[in-house]
Structure 1
Amino acid sequence: MEVLSSRVLLRSHDLAKTTAFYADVLGLAIYRTFPGGTVFFLGQGFLEVSGQGEPDARGNAGIWLQVRNLAATLAELAARGLTPDRPARREPWGLDEAWISDPDGTRIVLVEIPADHPLRTDVRPPSGA
Structure 2
Amino acid sequence: MEILSSRVLLRSRDPERVTAFYRDVLGLAVYREFPGGTVFFLGQGLLEVSGTSTGQATDATQLWLQVRDLRRAAEDLAEHVVRPARREPWGLDELWVADPDGRPIVLVEVPADHPLRRDVRD
Distance in 1 (CA, whole Å) between partners of 2:45 and 2:26 is: 16
Distance in 2 (CA, whole Å) between partners of 1:22 and 1:114 is: 25
**TM-score between both structures, scaled by the size of structure 2:** 0.94
Distance in 1 (CA, whole Å) between partners of 2:104 and 2:76 is: 18
1:9 aligns with 2:9: yes
**TM-score between both structures, scaled by the size of structure 1:** 0.89
Distance in 2 (CA, whole Å) between partners of 1:101 and 1:6 is: 23
Runs of at least 5 residues in structure 2 that lack an aligned partner in the other structure: none
Give 1 or 2: higher strand fraction: 2
What are the equivalent positions in structure 2 for 1:95-106 lying under 5 Å apart? 95-106=92-103
Distance in 2 (CA, whole Å) between partners of 1:57 and 1:113 is: 27
How many residues in Structure 1 have an aligned counterpart in Structure 2?
122
2:82 maps to: 85
1:36 maps to: 36
Q: 2:114 aligns with which of 117, 121, 126?
A: 117
| TM superposition outliers: structure 1 runs of 4+ over 6 Å | none
Distance in 1 (CA, whole Å) between partners of 2:112 and 2:14 is: 39
1:64 maps to: 64
Q: Is the 8 A contact 2:85 2:93 kept in 1?
A: yes
Query: Which structure is larger by alpha-carbon Rg, 1 or 2?
Result: 1
Q: Is the 8 A contact 1:55 1:104 kept in 2?
A: no
Q: CA RMSD in A?
A: 1.2
What are the equivalent positions in structure 2 for 1:8-27 lying under 5 Å apart? 8-27=8-27
Runs of at least 5 residues in structure 1 that lack an aligned partner in the other structure: none
* 1:57-93 C-alpha deviation (Å, 9 max, x unpaired): 3250000000001001211223xxx231000000000
The amino acid across from 1:76 in the alignment is: D
Identity of aligned residues (%): 67
Q: Is the 8 A contact 1:18 1:49 kept in 2?
A: yes
Distance in 2 (CA, whole Å) between partners of 1:12 and 1:59 is: 14
What is the DSSP-based 3-state SS (H/G/I as helix, E as strand, rest coil) of the residue aligned with 1:98?
strand
